[in-house]
Structure 1
Amino acid sequence: MKVLVVTNLFPTPWDPRRGTFNRQQFQRLAERHEVHVLTAVDFRERMAGTSGDAGVAGVVSDYFTFFHPPGFGRFLNAFCFFACLMWQRRRDLRNAGYDVMLASWGYPDAAGAAWVARLLGIPYVVKVHGSDLNVQAEFRLRRPQIRWALRGAAGVIAVSRALARKAVDLGASADTVEPLYNGVDTRLFHRGDRSAARARLDLPAGAPIVLYAGNLKATKGCLDLIEAFPALMARHPDARLVYVGDGPCHGNLEDRAAALCVAPAVRLVGAVDHAELADWFRAANVLCLPSHNEGVPNVVLEAMACGIPIVATAVGGIPEVVPDHAGILVPPHQSHELGTALVEAFERHFDPAAIAAHAATFRWEENIDRLERVLLRAVAGANRLPRRRTTPPDQPGRLPNT
């Protein structure tokens, strides 16, 4: 197959660390098929300048600038996505001869890309991740656009069963929806020597360490975690809290750490490359991710692959992948319960080998097998229908080559 992926979640020179889960998946798909990834780059980000190399071996990647209105005008984003894509890449798209399109992210990506697929006369598959349905579909003017994109899709891939149910509730045909967990690269994420990892990262050898890995956004629960941390320090005064990641809440976290008198125990590392996360996982005692909504965050799977337990919120697909022997789940927005869970996590015995063995069941090879079947079904279904011609014949009176 010749597959076109349209998404905002893929490494670009403006954000080389973006969409590492998609990078891993699409790179593996490209080992079997020809994969082109066309990534939307927000116009504000593009003006800020590039920040690194974003080449992905085996994948043909390109970018287009996504211009869109702010604030209330976001209900127009799907149209803007479509218009920007066609304005900047129309000729390339028409001449490439793609068999199928995969739109990764529900809004505006899938809603805008669906129009492009229809113009090209090719089937499309939508991949949904979490807040693209859980949050975006709650907006009155965006919901019908998402519903239209899901209903027209030849397949819908959801990263959890909870998200698959959400897609069906929004209007996707149940027989087109495929729950498909991401995989874990166990060559990179596996158990290792905690003391050695701490030495490399300049972390105290014997301190209890809580790790947060992800975007520093309020919806990820990073502020809830700083509020919960004093409960752990009351029981373990030498405890440390490490945030790995960047985002708009960086300053808020510093302010709250100072106000709660825990600033010396809190470390804000900033963003790191995906491969570097393995050492941070091995160095930690617990990964905490108190998100307000989620699909299935890959950091949870990767941390478990390194043998560390999880304290997280029971939202989205997290309860599907974190069994009792691998962690503790709490309701979202509840800092008191989160603090209690952190204390329990340090006083309860977890079996690192059992946690790592569970995480190893999330295999990228199986993920690609199933993704491939969804895409092949989409192509096969389209081939059974009359195909609209999008380019003129090579010569008058003759059909184009097939």
Structure 2
Amino acid sequence: MKILYINAMGPYEAWPQAGVFVSERVAALRKNGVDVTACSYYQINSPAVQRVVTRNGGPDLGTPIAQQAGVTYGIRKIPNGFFSAAMQRFRPNFWEKRIARQVRRDMEESKADLIHLHWIWPMGLGVMRYCRETGVPYVLTCHGGDIYSDMKDMRKRPYILKMLEGAAAVEFVSKALLESAKELGYSGKNAAVVYNGIRTSVFYPARQEHPGKTVVGFAGVMILRKGIDYLPEIFRRIQELIPGEIHFYMIGSGVLREEIEKKMAGLPVDFLGTIPSEKLAERFNEMDILLLPSRQEGYGCVIKEAQACGAVPIGRDVDGIREAVDGFGSLIAYTGDDDAFISAFAEETAAYVSGEKPIDRAAMEAQAARCSWEERQKDSIAIYQRILGKAD
């Protein structure tokens, strides 16, 4: 069984952890004996286009990098100049032939039996075209923004629906994400839910106890969708409610980091940026509470990592977080009242810290430990076997 595995999510010099869960899947598949050729496909903006993107508040992710989480990728660059950018506004499938040519080259070199693409827009255009022309089966994995954002774009939706319906299988990282795709017109006939996993060799209990001190944190991309605009006030109210020493961690990077740093001035908070998994596990083993006020979440993999280290998650009651919390932690409903939402996060944090709300940390850690990448990727392997078995 040979798989051409296409990562359309990174990584980049400026964001080395981008799409790391794709690399973890590749590593897990290889450990399970699957022959995987890994390539990263990038849309590379010309300097002029990038200046426009940056001026409009978009990110400059910098140069693609080939290595992540022990996986080495073949880097594939699809150039995007002003003409290409303009044409996409009128022809959303403008990239189709160009991407398909690159897919053909990679298939000829890899001799793969099947293509698996992560993040469907726009690279799925070329994958679909190549597979339609050759009869090679393809699998898609949807992670969140490709459904919540790209598929909601009425210009892109017809093409995305064709990609989804034409795939041999479509993986979703949560049940909630699958339901969102169905609400936008997808039939679900070829769907499967394959959750992200955790590196159990890295994320495990090694608690750093700190009597009289409370540690609360956030880990994720610092963008509006993650709800980080709520955190400055949540942190202040936690500080008011909990006696003794308190410390906050903000882990990750993103376009709102500078703004949030200014709003948290005066708080005992460390902004750690994007850190390696081993360092992240150390911070989770320090934390008492992990806060995730996300407006949307495909699947809160960081929740399982934190639980495995003994940190209790408190998250907004959205489906991707609800699935990950899975009974160990708290869910805060948003009713339209920002002040009540913020207070609920602070009060729930105080209840755990005081012991008013107990939690069985050993049971939480044990449940998270069963979510290894190797175990989770057995579901993908079963999908491949079913597809290739039918082909035979």
What is the TM-score with the length of structure 1 in the denominator? 0.82
With over 3 angstroms needed to count, the CA separation of the structure-2 counterparts of 1:125 and 1:185, relative to structure 1, is same
Q: Which moved more, 1:210-219 or 1:61-70?
A: 61-70
SS state at 1:4 partner: strand
- 1:88 is displaced (CA, Å) by 5.0
Query: 2:345 maps to which residue?
Result: 338
- 1:156 is displaced (CA, Å) by 0.9
Partners in 2 of 1:186 and 1:320 — Cα distance?
Answer: 19
CA deviation profile, 1:83-106 (whole Å, cap 9, x unmatched): 443455643434532211111113
SS state at 1:215 partner: coil
Query: Contact 1:27–1:59 at 8 Å: present in 2 too?
Result: no
Query: 1:104 maps to which residue?
Result: 118
Query: 1:288 maps to which residue?
Result: 291
Residue 308 of structure 1, aligned match among 311, 317, 333:
311
Partners in 2 of 1:116 and 1:208 — Cα distance?
Answer: 54
With over 3 angstroms needed to count, the CA separation of the structure-2 counterparts of 1:62 and 1:179, relative to structure 1, is same
Alignment of 1:62 with 2:86, yes or no, is: no
Query: Contact 1:130–1:316 at 8 Å: present in 2 too?
Result: no
Alignment of 1:5-84 (within 5 A): 5-11=5-11, 15-31=15-31, 32-44=33-45, 50=63, 54=67, 57=70, 61-65=74-78, 67=80, 79-84=93-98
SS state at 1:178 partner: strand
Alignment of 1:161 with 2:175, yes or no, is: yes
Query: 1:392 maps to which residue?
Result: none
Alignment of 1:117-266 (within 5 A): 117-195=131-209, 206-236=212-242, 238-258=245-265, 263-266=266-269
RMSD of aligned alpha carbons: 3.0
With over 3 angstroms needed to count, the CA separation of the structure-2 counterparts of 1:12 and 1:330, relative to structure 1, is same
With over 3 angstroms needed to count, the CA separation of the structure-2 counterparts of 1:140 and 1:345, relative to structure 1, is farther
Query: Structure 1 vs Structure 2: percent identity of aligned residues?
Result: 26
Partners in 2 of 1:167 and 1:312 — Cα distance?
Answer: 23
- 1:53 is displaced (CA, Å) by 6.3
Partners in 2 of 1:265 and 1:353 — Cα distance?
Answer: 29
SS state at 1:30 partner: helix
> How many pairs does the alignment contain?
371
Alignment of 1:315-326 (within 5 A): 315-326=318-329
Amino acid paired to 1:345? Y
- 1:38 is displaced (CA, Å) by 2.0
Partners in 1 of 2:67 and 2:94 — Cα distance?
Answer: 25
Query: Contact 2:66–2:74 at 8 Å: present in 1 too?
Result: no
Query: 2:4 maps to which residue?
Result: 4
Partners in 1 of 2:346 and 2:87 — Cα distance?
Answer: 39
Q: Which moved more, 1:186-195 or 1:48-57?
A: 48-57
What is the TM-score with the length of structure 2 in the denominator? 0.84
Query: Contact 2:208–2:286 at 8 Å: present in 1 too?
Result: yes
SS state at 1:181 partner: coil
Query: Contact 2:234–2:346 at 8 Å: present in 1 too?
Result: yes
Residue 279 of structure 1, aligned match among 282, 289, 293:
282
Q: Which moved more, 1:295-304 or 1:221-230?
A: 221-230
